[in-house]
A and B are shown apart, each in its own frame.
Chain A
Protein backbone atom coordinates (compact mmCIF):
# COMPACT_ATOMS: atom_id res chain seq x y z
CA UNK A 1 0.00 0.00 0.00
CA UNK A 2 2.04 2.95 -1.31
CA UNK A 3 -0.38 5.79 -0.44
CA UNK A 4 0.28 8.81 -2.68
CA UNK A 5 3.03 8.46 -5.28
CA UNK A 6 4.51 11.44 -7.13
CA UNK A 7 6.85 11.43 -10.11
CA UNK A 8 9.40 12.72 -10.78
CA UNK A 9 11.14 13.50 -7.48
CA UNK A 10 13.36 16.20 -9.00
CA UNK A 11 13.18 18.21 -12.21
CA UNK A 12 15.11 21.12 -13.72
CA UNK A 13 13.47 23.08 -16.52
CA UNK A 14 14.49 26.05 -18.60
CA UNK A 15 12.14 29.02 -18.81
CA UNK A 16 9.42 28.32 -21.38
CA UNK A 17 9.65 24.54 -21.24
CA UNK A 18 6.63 22.45 -20.34
CA UNK A 19 6.22 19.41 -18.15
CA UNK A 20 3.63 17.31 -16.36
CA UNK A 21 3.85 16.22 -12.74
CA UNK A 22 2.21 12.88 -12.11
CA UNK A 23 0.32 11.77 -9.01
CA UNK A 24 -1.43 8.52 -8.17
CA UNK A 25 -3.13 7.29 -4.99
CA UNK A 26 -4.15 3.78 -4.04
CA UNK A 27 -6.44 4.58 -1.10
CA UNK A 28 -9.61 4.87 -3.21
CA UNK A 29 -10.02 8.52 -2.15
CA UNK A 30 -12.48 10.72 -4.00
CA UNK A 31 -10.62 14.01 -3.66
CA UNK A 32 -7.15 14.98 -4.83
CA UNK A 33 -5.14 18.18 -4.53
CA UNK A 34 -2.02 19.94 -5.76
CA UNK A 35 -0.10 22.24 -3.41
CA UNK A 36 3.08 24.21 -3.75
CA UNK A 37 5.42 24.84 -0.83
CA UNK A 38 7.69 27.86 -0.77
CA UNK A 39 9.96 29.05 2.09
CA UNK A 40 8.08 31.22 4.56
CA UNK A 41 4.75 30.74 2.77
CA UNK A 42 3.50 27.38 3.96
CA UNK A 43 1.41 25.23 1.65
CA UNK A 44 -0.78 26.90 -0.96
CA UNK A 45 -3.47 25.11 -2.93
CA UNK A 46 -3.06 25.26 -6.71
CA UNK A 47 -5.94 23.09 -7.95
CA UNK A 48 -8.12 20.37 -6.54
CA UNK A 49 -10.50 17.71 -7.73
CA UNK A 50 -13.33 17.03 -5.33
CA UNK A 51 -14.35 13.92 -7.25
CA UNK A 52 -13.57 12.15 -10.50
CA UNK A 53 -14.61 14.35 -13.42
CA UNK A 54 -14.38 17.68 -11.59
CA UNK A 55 -11.54 20.16 -11.06
CA UNK A 56 -11.48 23.58 -9.41
CA UNK A 57 -9.03 26.39 -8.90
CA UNK A 58 -7.36 26.90 -5.57
CA UNK A 59 -5.49 29.89 -4.21
CA UNK A 60 -2.68 30.08 -6.83
CA UNK A 61 -3.85 28.50 -10.14
CA UNK A 62 -2.21 30.86 -12.66
CA UNK A 63 0.28 29.15 -14.95
CA UNK A 64 -0.99 25.63 -14.21
CA UNK A 65 -3.49 23.17 -15.61
CA UNK A 66 -4.70 19.87 -14.18
CA UNK A 67 -6.28 16.66 -15.39
CA UNK A 68 -8.13 14.13 -13.28
CA UNK A 69 -7.40 11.15 -15.44
CA UNK A 70 -9.40 8.68 -13.33
CA UNK A 71 -10.13 8.16 -9.66
CA UNK A 72 -6.50 7.26 -8.92
CA UNK A 73 -4.57 9.82 -10.97
CA UNK A 74 -4.35 13.61 -10.92
CA UNK A 75 -1.71 15.40 -13.00
CA UNK A 76 -0.40 18.96 -12.91
CA UNK A 77 0.89 20.60 -16.08
CA UNK A 78 3.12 23.62 -16.52
CA UNK A 79 2.67 24.80 -20.11
CA UNK A 80 5.42 27.43 -20.11
CA UNK A 81 7.56 27.26 -16.99
CA UNK A 82 8.71 30.47 -15.29
CA UNK A 83 11.33 30.98 -12.55
CA UNK A 84 8.48 31.95 -10.17
CA UNK A 85 7.28 28.34 -10.43
CA UNK A 86 10.44 27.07 -8.76
CA UNK A 87 8.99 25.28 -5.75
CA UNK A 88 8.29 21.95 -4.12
CA UNK A 89 5.01 20.50 -5.36
CA UNK A 90 2.90 18.16 -3.25
CA UNK A 91 -0.01 16.04 -4.31
CA UNK A 92 -2.52 14.96 -1.66
CA UNK A 93 -5.71 12.97 -1.42
CA UNK A 94 -8.54 12.69 1.08
CA UNK A 95 -11.93 11.19 1.64
CA UNK A 96 -14.81 13.57 2.01
CA UNK A 97 -18.08 13.08 3.83
CA UNK A 98 -20.40 15.55 2.14
CA UNK A 99 -22.58 17.70 4.26
CA UNK A 100 -21.21 16.42 7.52
CA UNK A 101 -18.85 17.85 10.09
CA UNK A 102 -16.23 15.19 9.37
CA UNK A 103 -12.99 16.44 7.90
CA UNK A 104 -10.86 13.79 6.26
CA UNK A 105 -7.10 14.21 6.82
CA UNK A 106 -4.99 14.97 3.80
CA UNK A 107 -2.55 12.23 2.75
CA UNK A 108 0.46 13.76 1.03
CA UNK A 109 3.01 12.36 -1.39
CA UNK A 110 6.73 13.03 -0.88
CA UNK A 111 6.86 15.93 -3.31
CA UNK A 112 8.51 16.99 -6.56
CA UNK A 113 11.29 19.55 -6.29
CA UNK A 114 11.14 21.72 -9.41
CA UNK A 115 13.73 24.28 -10.42
CA UNK A 116 13.13 26.63 -13.35
CA UNK A 117 16.21 28.45 -14.63
Chain B
Protein backbone atom coordinates (compact mmCIF):
# COMPACT_ATOMS: atom_id res chain seq x y z
CA UNK B 1 0.00 0.00 0.00
CA UNK B 2 0.83 3.67 -0.08
CA UNK B 3 3.30 5.12 2.44
CA UNK B 4 3.55 8.88 3.00
CA UNK B 5 6.45 10.42 4.90
CA UNK B 6 6.24 14.02 6.10
CA UNK B 7 9.03 16.34 7.32
CA UNK B 8 9.71 18.15 9.52
CA UNK B 9 7.57 17.06 12.45
CA UNK B 10 7.85 20.53 14.00
CA UNK B 11 8.67 23.86 12.41
CA UNK B 12 9.08 27.26 14.01
CA UNK B 13 9.26 30.42 11.89
CA UNK B 14 9.07 34.12 12.59
CA UNK B 15 6.05 36.06 11.46
CA UNK B 16 6.51 37.18 7.88
CA UNK B 17 8.95 34.39 6.98
CA UNK B 18 8.13 31.48 4.67
CA UNK B 19 7.46 27.90 5.76
CA UNK B 20 7.97 24.76 3.71
CA UNK B 21 6.68 21.29 4.57
CA UNK B 22 7.72 18.30 2.48
CA UNK B 23 6.13 14.92 1.82
CA UNK B 24 7.23 11.87 -0.12
CA UNK B 25 5.03 9.02 -1.28
CA UNK B 26 5.77 5.48 -2.38
CA UNK B 27 3.04 4.51 -4.85
CA UNK B 28 3.74 5.91 -8.30
CA UNK B 29 0.05 5.44 -9.14
CA UNK B 30 -1.00 8.13 -6.65
CA UNK B 31 -2.61 11.03 -8.44
CA UNK B 32 -4.27 13.20 -5.81
CA UNK B 33 -2.44 15.11 -3.05
CA UNK B 34 -4.43 17.20 -0.55
CA UNK B 35 -3.16 19.23 2.39
CA UNK B 36 -5.18 19.60 5.59
CA UNK B 37 -4.77 22.13 8.40
CA UNK B 38 -5.77 21.23 11.95
CA UNK B 39 -6.20 23.98 14.51
CA UNK B 40 -6.15 23.18 18.21
CA UNK B 41 -9.27 21.34 19.31
CA UNK B 42 -10.67 21.13 15.79
CA UNK B 43 -10.84 18.59 13.01
CA UNK B 44 -8.58 18.85 9.94
CA UNK B 45 -9.74 21.14 7.15
CA UNK B 46 -8.69 21.01 3.51
CA UNK B 47 -6.61 24.05 2.54
CA UNK B 48 -5.32 23.11 -0.92
CA UNK B 49 -4.99 20.07 -3.15
CA UNK B 50 -3.21 19.15 -6.37
CA UNK B 51 -3.71 16.50 -8.98
CA UNK B 52 -0.95 14.76 -10.87
CA UNK B 53 -1.61 16.56 -14.14
CA UNK B 54 -0.28 19.84 -12.72
CA UNK B 55 3.06 20.71 -11.14
CA UNK B 56 2.08 23.69 -9.00
CA UNK B 57 -1.03 25.29 -7.59
CA UNK B 58 -1.37 28.57 -5.67
CA UNK B 59 -4.06 30.07 -3.48
CA UNK B 60 -3.10 33.44 -2.06
CA UNK B 61 -0.24 32.81 0.42
CA UNK B 62 -0.18 29.04 0.09
CA UNK B 63 1.13 26.93 -2.76
CA UNK B 64 1.75 23.27 -3.39
CA UNK B 65 4.32 21.82 -5.76
CA UNK B 66 4.45 18.27 -7.09
CA UNK B 67 7.38 16.36 -8.53
CA UNK B 68 6.01 13.05 -9.84
CA UNK B 69 9.40 11.78 -10.97
CA UNK B 70 10.85 12.13 -7.49
CA UNK B 71 7.51 11.27 -5.84
CA UNK B 72 7.44 14.23 -3.54
CA UNK B 73 5.22 17.24 -2.97
CA UNK B 74 5.57 20.31 -0.79
CA UNK B 75 3.44 22.96 0.90
CA UNK B 76 4.75 26.52 0.83
CA UNK B 77 3.32 29.24 3.05
CA UNK B 78 4.60 32.77 2.43
CA UNK B 79 4.34 35.82 4.70
CA UNK B 80 3.37 33.63 7.64
CA UNK B 81 0.97 34.99 10.24
CA UNK B 82 0.17 33.83 13.80
CA UNK B 83 -3.10 32.30 12.58
CA UNK B 84 -1.05 29.93 10.39
CA UNK B 85 0.07 28.16 13.59
CA UNK B 86 -1.49 24.69 13.40
CA UNK B 87 -0.74 21.08 12.51
CA UNK B 88 -0.54 20.40 8.77
CA UNK B 89 -1.12 16.98 7.19
CA UNK B 90 -0.28 15.91 3.68
CA UNK B 91 -2.01 12.95 2.06
CA UNK B 92 -1.92 10.88 -1.12
CA UNK B 93 -4.46 8.77 -2.97
CA UNK B 94 -4.39 6.69 -6.16
CA UNK B 95 -8.13 6.66 -6.67
CA UNK B 96 -11.05 9.06 -6.62
CA UNK B 97 -12.23 7.75 -3.26
CA UNK B 98 -11.22 9.20 0.09
CA UNK B 99 -11.16 5.69 1.56
CA UNK B 100 -7.82 5.18 -0.16
CA UNK B 101 -6.30 8.39 1.22
CA UNK B 102 -3.06 7.85 3.18
CA UNK B 103 -2.03 10.63 5.55
CA UNK B 104 1.40 11.79 6.60
CA UNK B 105 2.26 12.05 10.29
CA UNK B 106 1.77 15.81 10.51
CA UNK B 107 3.88 18.96 10.97
CA UNK B 108 3.30 21.30 13.87
CA UNK B 109 3.94 24.84 12.61
CA UNK B 110 4.55 27.58 15.15
CA UNK B 111 4.64 31.17 13.91
CA UNK B 112 6.33 33.42 16.46
CA UNK B 113 6.00 37.19 16.72
Seen from chain A, the residues whose Cβ lies within 8 Å of a Cβ on chain B are 4, 31, 33, 40-45, 48, 50, 56, 58, 90, 92, 94, 96-106, 108-111
Contacts and interface: CB of A to CB of B under 8 A. Distances in A.
B105 interface: yes
A42 B89 contact: yes
Given A33-B98, A42-B103, A96-B98, A110 B43 contact: yes
Interface in B16-58: 31-32, 34, 36, 41-46, 49, 51
Interface of B: 4, 6, 9, 31-32, 34, 36, 41-46, 49, 51, 89, 93, 96-99, 101, 103-106
Contacts, number: 71
A106 B106 contact: no
Q: What's the dominant secondary structure at chain A's contact region?
A: loop
B47 to A, nearest CB: 10
Contacts of A92: 43, 98
